Amino acid sequence: MYIARIRIQNYRCFEDLSIEFQPGVNVIIGENNAGKSAVLRALGLVFDHRRRQRIELHDFYLGLADASNPPAVAVFVTLRSSLRDTLDDRGLVQPWLIKDDPPWEAQLTYRFFLPEEEIGRFRADARVAGTDEDYWRIVRQYLPKYVSHIYGGEPSALNRADPDDLSKFDYQFLDAIRDVEAELFMGSNPLLKTLLRQVLDLDVRDEDERAGRQRQFSGLSAELVDQLLTRIDSRTLFNLVEETGASDGGRPVLGGGLGETDLISALRLLVEKNGFQLPAINNGLGYNNLIYISLKLASLDLATSKRQQGPNAVLFPMLLIEEPEAHLHPALQYKLLKYLKQRIEATPGGSANPNSSRQVFITTHSTHVTAATELDSIICMSTSDGTGVHVSYPGMVFPDDEEGRKSKKYVERYLDATKSNMLFARAVILVEGLAELLLLPCMAEYLKSPLERHHVAVVSVGGSTFKHFLPLFGVGIPSERVAYALHRRVACVLDGDPARKSKQDSARYKACLPYQLDIEPAAYDYAALSGTVQNLERMCKGNSNVKVRHGVKTFEYDLAELNACSILLSPFCCSCSEDVSHIHEGEIPCCDITKRLSAKLRRDTGLLKDMEAIAQPLARRTAEFATYYLLAVEDVKGEHAFDLERHLRGKLIENSGHDNIFRVPDYIKDAILWACGTTEERGLGE
């Protein structure tokens, strides 16, 4: 069985929210204050029987509409059967069943409420509350009278769950602000000390052998104490006892013994490396975190061992971790997630204790963690649309057909740490290549709409693969799956990529330049936009949260046509870059410079005739510059974009407070301002 659903009412940031879980590992992500930690703590209200937390005033949902009644917290947890269930599972939840047909479901309900006999007095006091502050002051006064109960089965039946049955669930919670050293080594019941006691004589099954070991230890410890006593000069220690008269009440002597627990407390955790042993407190924080997590997992194994615990063995252990990435290198984050997944998926037949791993719940801000996690295990929480907390399930958006399975498989395969950023951001700009990925954040600075201020991620997905990622945002999927999609503003930025094909044969469309469109209609068929753009526009039609913006030709061509000046030149696109220093910004490089940009390409392309069809000389010179600029950077787009980005940022600083010579193409501007949620006026003038 597994925890399939939790519904939380009036707790912290949740008025009424339901979340679906998967068997095994569940990774909860989202922006700060979206409620990730509150979900884990709500599970603790039901299952943490060791440290049953009491609701405080700040734990109530503060947006309650009905001020005439006392606030109450409710948490409903649904347990569902799975293929790995045992007879013990069914026996445990039998009194809590709400659905008997496979897969069966059972429910536990936690309620924190003011008893009925106090409600009348509360309402009388609340009627005179003039403000929200007065109302919550009254709630604080009544808080000591609140009670909490856990019920099993249908909530309306109010059948109290048996505490012995609840104790079969083991809730192990590792919060984000954890002092690993203190929890491992110090305190009244440190983890290491507890585990050492549990693994003592773990290899012994015969009780007589265990008793023999204990007698042997007692004999050895007695010898050790006797040897120590012979080294102590008790005469000097107690020589004044008789003179002060203290001996009248009895003569003091030294004695005692060493128990196993005493020596266990004396043991210290060391880390051995390269032949040296160092105290664990001198170890790195990241590795100590991993040691701590591994010992927590070991404690789950021991808690579920019937041989160790007998009838007190835990049946359903769960591990809850806030930010496992704390102090961990990305490679270690990946390794930890991989192990947790393997641990959960271990088949009962291949494990001596199949109950040692049931479910793991993780909250994280790490793209490395999500990159190591399957889509089905990811739960996204967001408040970015202003309508409260919204829960999304990236793995559930894809239709269960051939195309849907293909897209899901593609996304899972290529959702690396870079692309996983789209799951965390409030808005996303999807682009085709590296140049756009590098330059769009800089262009946003020119528009005075910095992407980091608006939590916008730029993600490169490749031209033909937009269709695989867009279902995550509700595009191209059945209406019943839209509720699972991410609530994000999404801008898709593509090249226009005009093309033409000869009418004389059945050749495929070939790329052409904008000024070549429609100049020879008798010889060519033309397409002003690529099939990718057209298909994407059809796919996104009707989706208010997704905008498609495209250029005229390519990103580089459109930049050069709008900024036909030396600001775009770099050593990677112009071997004579030292010769362009005399050109004033804003001035189109002269024909001589244009020739030197790409003299050989100019001879080979034969584009002069088509350029001559452009009537206006300035437009012709601009098109000429854009053409040769495009051809010059064709094989060095990445290197050139790195250099250009650094150059543009330098110019941005130089011209701070003044109009900048660099202009952002309209389709890029529209995409950035849309994703940032700003108007064009604000973007250009704030």
- Same domain, residue pair 461 and 610: no
Report if residue 608 sits inside a domain.
yes
- Same domain, residue pair 628 and 673: no
- Same domain, residue pair 537 and 516: no
Query: Three-state SS for 268?
Result: coil
Domain enclosing residue 408, as ranges: 402-495+531-551+665-686
What is the mean pLDDT of the segment spanning 34-39?
A: 94
Q: What is the pLDDT of residue 618?
A: 80
Alpha-carbon gap, residue 214 to 218, rounded angstroms:
6
Alpha-carbon gap, residue 556 to 563, rounded angstroms:
10
Q: What is the pLDDT of residue 579?
A: 42
Alpha-carbon gap, residue 182 to 163, rounded angstroms:
30
- Same domain, residue pair 680 and 537: yes
Q: What is the pLDDT of residue 581?
A: 40
Beta bridge partners of 25: 360
pTM for this prediction? 0.84
- Same domain, residue pair 525 and 489: no
Alpha-carbon gap, residue 450 to 448, rounded angstroms:
6
Q: What is the pLDDT of residue 247?
A: 72
Report if residue 516 sits inside a domain.
yes
Q: What is the pLDDT of residue 53?
A: 78
Judged by average pLDDT, the poorest of 522-531, 627-636, 655-664 is: 655-664
Domain count, the chain: 3
Query: Residue 585 above 60 pLDDT?
Result: no
Q: In terms of residues, how long is the chain? A: 686
Query: Three-state SS for 96?
Result: helix
Each residue's pLDDT tens digit, 272-314: 888 888 777 778 777 888 888 888 888 888 888 887 788 888 9
Report if residue 635 sits inside a domain.
yes
Each residue's pLDDT tens digit, 58-100: 999 988 767 788 999 999 999 999 988 888 999 999 999 999 9
CB within 8 A of 409, min separation 6: which ones? none
Each residue's pLDDT tens digit, 120-136: 999 999 988 888 889 99
Q: What is the pLDDT of residue 684?
A: 35
- Same domain, residue pair 590 and 633: yes
Report if residue 616 sits inside a domain.
yes
Judged by average pLDDT, the poorest of 74-78, 352-356, 453-457 is: 352-356
Report if residue 628 sits inside a domain.
yes
Q: In angstroms, how far is CA 189 from the centroid of its own chain?
A: 32
- Same domain, residue pair 565 and 647: yes
- Same domain, residue pair 445 and 540: yes
* CA 170-175-179 angle, 5° bins: 110
- Same domain, residue pair 430 and 537: yes
Mean pLDDT is highest, among 384-388, 431-435, 628-632, for 431-435
Q: Within 13 Å, how many C-alpha atoms sit on residue 468's CB side?
A: 19
Beta bridge partners of 456: 427
**DSSP for 575-587, written as a single string:** TTGGGGTTSPTTP
Amino acid letter, 510: K
What sections of 496-616 are H helices per DSSP?
531-540, 555-562, 591-597, 599-605, 608-611
Peptide bond into 324 cis (omega under 30): no
Nearest to 72 by CA among 178, 141, 146: 146
What is the mean pLDDT of the segment spanning 254-264?
A: 85
Report if residue 120 sits inside a domain.
no
What is the mean pLDDT of the segment spanning 396-405?
A: 94
Report if residue 261 sits inside a domain.
no
CB 594 within 8 A of CB 565: no
Please measure the distance between the N-terminal and C-terminal CA atoms of the chain and give it in whole angstroms: 56
What does the mean pLDDT of the chain come to? 85
- Same domain, residue pair 616 and 632: yes
Q: β-strand 24-30 against 359-364: which pairing, if any?
A: parallel
Q: What is the pLDDT of residue 278?
A: 79
Q: What is the pLDDT of residue 679?
A: 60
- Same domain, residue pair 463 and 543: yes
- Same domain, residue pair 406 and 481: yes
Report if residue 485 sits inside a domain.
yes
